[in-house]
Structure 1
Amino acid sequence: MLNNPDIGKLILRLSLGLMMLLHGVHKLHAGVGWISGVLAEHHLPGFLAYGVFIGEVIAPVMVIVGYQTRIGAALIVGNMLVALVLAHMGELFSLSSSGGWAIELQAFYLFTAAALVFLGAGKYAMKN
């Protein structure tokens, strides 16, 4: 009963997908204007900010339901790499006030998504 990799993959998928999706839902309501500003600071076009909806809404839904999970997880990896480069590079070698890694949440999303790229969706999914 406890040796069930498919249940483990389901837990990873649901954890990553639901937590990332909440960030996407927030951006659906609040908009992505601030991301456009960050992109402009890096001399990139502001319309690229709408790509966050792929990485924080579409990809998490794919991961949650287990449809093309590896692709959805890869999109989340890309989303997190862009977020790290654009918004969190200054925190890369920093600790938070509680002693944890300053970017531990972003790292969690990045590495969990990377694990799902290699693991796949498991048995409890629409389609691997």
Structure 2
Amino acid sequence: MSRTQGSQDVGKAILRIALGALILVHGISKLMTGPGFIVQVVTKAGLPESVAYLVYIGEIVAPILLIIGLWTRLAGLIIAINMIVALALVHASQFGDMAPTGGWALELQGMYLAGALAVALLGAGRMSVGGIDGRWN
């Protein structure tokens, strides 16, 4: 393994583990408080209530897969889709807003989306359960 390959694998691991851990905390919060807010948001948008429960796949299952490095590209894609839906249904009115402390009001959501897309494109790397040649890694 070249020095370049090794640093790329470490970088991929840091990206997917950090993203997975941060998104997982959101999912754990939803497990503790229940899906009420999400149900309200999706039904207000005219979607069936059952769609609200997909958030658990995007914020519990997919982050765990990222953290361990299994089906990483698929998990990254699921998180990206989850973020796009969240941006459209919850944060659409904030797209042009600035944060009180400076910067874009949606910079965290934007970084989650960009990180998820990067993981989906880069894969897990060698430092993962699935390994570099694992399916969807």
Q: TM-score range by the shorter chain?
A: over 0.9
The AA in structure 2 aligned to 1:98 is T
Deviation, structure 1 residue 2: 7.4
Q: CA RMSD in A?
A: 1.3
Partner of 2:30: 27
Deviant stretches of 4+, over 3 Å: none
Residue in structure 2 matching 1:62, options 65, 80, 89: 65
Structure 1: runs of 5+ lacking an equivalent: none
Matched, 1:46 2:11: no
Partner of 1:101: 104
| TM-score, normalised with respect to structure 2 | 0.90
| Counterparts of 2:43 and 2:116, CA distance in 1 | 27
Change over 3 Å in CA distance of 1:40–1:99 after alignment to 2? same
More off after superposition, 118-127 vs 1-10: 1-10
Matched, 1:88 2:91: yes
Partner of 2:81: 78
| Counterparts of 1:93 and 1:32, CA distance in 2 | 28
| Counterparts of 1:21 and 1:115, CA distance in 2 | 18
Identity %: 43
Aligned residues: 128
Partner of 2:121: 118
Q: Aligned to 2:21, what secondary structure does the other structure show? A: helix
Deviation digits for residues 43-63 of structure 1 (CA, Å, limit 9, x no counterpart): 111121110000000000001
Partner of 1:7: 10
Deviation, structure 1 residue 112: 0.2
